[in-house]
């Protein structure tokens, strides 16, 4: 069909997009972007994403950036393919998917991404992680996960008893977070732990996770 993703398989945000493409069983081409060479800041790339970030998706004459806008587009366009990630025939369930998608964006992501960045990316640049930043965000993440623990004791997944885009969006950063010394934040919360084990063992994600090798020598 000609869907192209410009990005890198080990990148969190690219992985978010690759996961949904696999969930939907879609053919696509992954075109690597050479971040080390600064390709993402070159004019030909900025023409696709003026913020100079991966991933970018091209579907015919449509060019999209922002991974969560890309996943929303794929989920909607291919809503009849594979698992229904947006509950398009159930308006109330669809609304709850949006609620927990926003929770990931607004509460989960801002806490977990600095931890992953400091622990995994910063050393790759030859610098020392800022423990104060890590500690402050571990505290925030713990509070968010307390709410998740309570939520997931009444529903199997975040938006209800069905896997949805809201759960999928958590996969890439949590995958890397579970390789840090602070995985106990997940493992000590039984419902969060069970949810994590369930969503991270989905075949579509396992395929993507094979290439998520950041921080490995």
Partner 1 sequence: MAAIKVHGSVISTAAMRVFATLYEKDIEFELVPIDLGAGEHKKEPFISLNPFGQVPAFEDGDLKLFESRAITQYIAHEYADKGTPLVIRDSKKMAIISLWSEVEGQKFDPAASKLTFELALKPMFKMTTNAAVVEENEAKLAVVLDVYETRLAQSKYLAGESFTLADLHHLPTIHYLMGTQSKKLFESRPHVRAWVADITARPAWNKVLAQQK
Binding site for partner 1 (CB under 8 A): 50-51, 62, 64-66, 68-69, 72-73, 76-77, 91-92, 94-96, 98-99, 101-103, 105-107, 110, 144, 147, 150-151
Distance CA 56, CA 52 (A): 10
Shortest Cβ 166–partner 1 spacing (Å): 10
Q: State the nearest-atom distance from the C-beta of 210 to partner 1, in Å.
A: 27
Q: Which is nearer to partner 1, 68 or 179 (CB)?
A: 68
- Least distance from C-beta 8 to partner 1, angstroms? 19
Instruction: Compare residues 62 and 194 and give the one whose CB is closer to partner 1.
Output: 62
Give the max Cα distance, the chain.
Answer: 50
From 55, 40, 41, select the one nearest 6 (Cα to Cα).
55
Selection from 82, 113, 96, 108 nearest residue 19 by Cα: 82
Distance CA 76, CA 113 (A): 27
Report phi then psi at 153, rounded to 5. Answer: -85, -10
CB of 162 to partner 1, least distance (A): 16
Shortest distance in whole angstroms from residue 156 CB to partner 1: 17
By C-beta, is 25 or 110 nearer to partner 1? 110
Contact 104, 151 (CB under 8 A): no
Sign of CA dihedral 71, 15, 210, 140: negative
Please identify, using beta-carbon distances, which residue of 53 and 118 lies nearer to partner 1. 53
Query: 54 or 96: whose CB is closer to partner 1?
Result: 96
Cα–Cα distance, 52 to 44 (Å, whole number): 10
């Amino acid at each position: 069909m000609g869907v192209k993703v410009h990005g890198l398989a080990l990148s969190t945000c690219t992985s978010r997009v690759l996961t949904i493409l696999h969930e939907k069983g879609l053919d696509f081409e992954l075109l690597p972007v050479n971040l080390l060479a600064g390709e993402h800041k070159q004019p030909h790339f900025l023409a696709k994403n003026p913020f100079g970030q991966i991933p970018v998706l091209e579907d015919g004459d449509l060019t999209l950036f922002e991974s969560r806008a890309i996943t929303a587009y794929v989920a909607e366009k291919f809503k009849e393919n594979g698992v229904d990630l947006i509950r398009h025939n159930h308006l109330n369930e669809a609304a709850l998917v949006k609620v927990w998608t926003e929770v990931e964006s607004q509460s989960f992501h801002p806490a977990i991404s600095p931890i992953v960045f400091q622990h995994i990316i910063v050393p790759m640049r030859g610098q020392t992680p800022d423990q104060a930043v890590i500690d402050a965000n571990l505290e925030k993440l713990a509070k968010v996960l307390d709410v998740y623990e309570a939520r997931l004791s009444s529903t199997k997944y975040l938006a209800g008893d069905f896997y949805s885009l809201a759960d999928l969006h958590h996969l890439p950063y949590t995958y890397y977070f579970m390789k840090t010394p602070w995985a106990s934040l997940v493992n000590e919360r039984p419902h969060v732990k069970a949810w994590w084990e369930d969503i991270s063992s989905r075949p579509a994600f396992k395929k993507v996770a094979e290439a998520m090798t950041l921080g490995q020598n």
